Amino acid sequence: MIPPNWRYTWNNSADPLLVRAHGLAATIARPSVTVSRPTDQGPVLAYGGLAHGLTHVLPFLEQRRGTGSQHSRRRTTWAELASGRATPDADLLAVGVLRRDAPGRPPRHCLLLPFRINLSVPVGPDPQDVLKRLSRKARQQHTRELRSRARTLEVATSEADFHFFYDGMHRPTMRNRHRDAARSEERQSALVCLFRRGVLFFLCESGRRVAGMLCRQEGSTLVIRLAGVEAGGEEPYRSGTYMAMYVLILQWAAEHGLTRVDLSGCEPFLSKGIFQFKRKMHPEVALPGNHFREKRLVLRVLRDTPQVRDLLTANPALTFGAGKGLEAVYFHDQDRSARTDLRWECPGVSGHRTVDLDEFLAGLPGSPRRSLTGQPTLS
């Protein structure tokens, strides 16, 4: 049995030797491709290449498609994935590759994306500076509800507190929010690698614990790793509970001499709900420090259909631009407006551009018509 510390280090360390070992391991196995067919209307999706995409990329795209899925999987080759020949019956193909194997310039009908992005907030010595990062509306709500709900931050230290959080908050929240797509740190790993090497916080309202976050301390950085609300309920999302907890933890970090709070990462799409939520704290967007830093995602359109156009329009992406930093890409056509309501402005994102789907998809087989499914809702 692999010790939890070893497994955690393998998955999360930024050590260059381990990052290179990940790359070596990725090239040993023959790649596979998984095709995801909708049980109702929607584009046929496919993912191939680096195995982590089956737990990060494909579930996100399926969620945004908004229907049930039927999977089929087969072995393929890197050459077939690079050309799109691996899945002739798919509408959209995502391929996870190592940075060294990524195209210097995206081929026609393709986008080159980071595999994942990381969000973090620098903190200074003054805890009040944290509030200045918030919008006026979010700042006013936080101040108002801090008083009206008698919110306080508790630092918990016993293993009983850990199990209370893990069983009563974290697991129910993951189950209710993500269902079959839920993924998290196993209990023993969370206990050994997070709780014993970090801090467990509870947000209390009038003395009752309503939410919690388990963080790991790495030098002067506090890394937020696991979160949850009481019984996994929905009410805390409507009452600003999560935002209050983030603000209080950022202030705690400032008070205790830390210089950065790592908010963790997500897929490189502006429609990712957690990106839009955390963007309210004006975090810095960067490539992850661990093995994901050396991974890339090539998103290739294979067929021009109304459902593909709906999906691209509803999910603006963060791509590698011509200059430094990332660039937001918004799609549109005469029937679909660019989703500029999904904001991109963050340090680390240098700008944005809009792309006409008629130009981007020109030459592909298909029958573009007016939207049949409408725009998927923001998750």
- Taking only the tens place, the pLDDT of each residue in 55-79 is 989 999 999 998 889 999 999 999 9
What is residue 331's predicted lDDT score, i.e. its pLDDT?
Answer: 98
Contact (Cβ atoms closer than 8 angstroms) between residue 287 and residue 318: no
What is residue 298's predicted lDDT score, i.e. its pLDDT?
Answer: 97
DSSP 167: I
H or E element in which residue 37 lies: strand 32-38
DSSP H stretches of helix in the chain:
4-12, 16-28, 57-65, 78-83, 129-132, 136-148, 159-165, 171-178, 187-189, 235-238, 241-255, 273-278, 306-314, 357-360
166-194 pLDDT per residue, tens? 999 999 999 887 666 567 789 999 999 99
Q: What Rg do the C-alpha atoms of the chain give, in angstroms?
A: 21
- Taking the alpha carbons at both ends of the chain, their separation in whole angstroms is 37
Between β-strands 221-229 and 260-266, what pairing exists: parallel, antiparallel or unpaired? parallel
Contact (Cβ atoms closer than 8 angstroms) between residue 263 and residue 213: no
Long-range contacts formed by 105-108: CB under 8 A, 24+ apart = 106/298, 106/319, 107/300, 108/363
| Residue 96 CB neighbours (<10 A) | 25
Between β-strands 260-266 and 117-122, what pairing exists: parallel, antiparallel or unpaired? antiparallel
| Sheet strand arrangement including 326-332 | 317-320, 326-332, 349-356
| Residue 145 CB neighbours (<10 A) | 17
Nearest to 159 by CA among 122, 188, 117: 188
Helices vs strands, H then E, count in the chain: 14, 16
DSSP 379: -
Please give the Cα distance from 46 to 81 (Å, whole number). 10
Contact (Cβ atoms closer than 8 angstroms) between residue 31 and residue 47: no
Quick check: pTM over 0.75?
A: yes
What mean pLDDT is reported for the chain?
90
- DSSP-derived 3-state class of residue 94: strand
Q: Which residues of the chain have pLDDT under 50?
A: 369-379
Contact (Cβ atoms closer than 8 angstroms) between residue 76 and residue 85: no
Q: What residue type is 196 in one-letter code?
A: R
What is residue 105's predicted lDDT score, i.e. its pLDDT?
Answer: 87
CA 122 to chain centre: 19
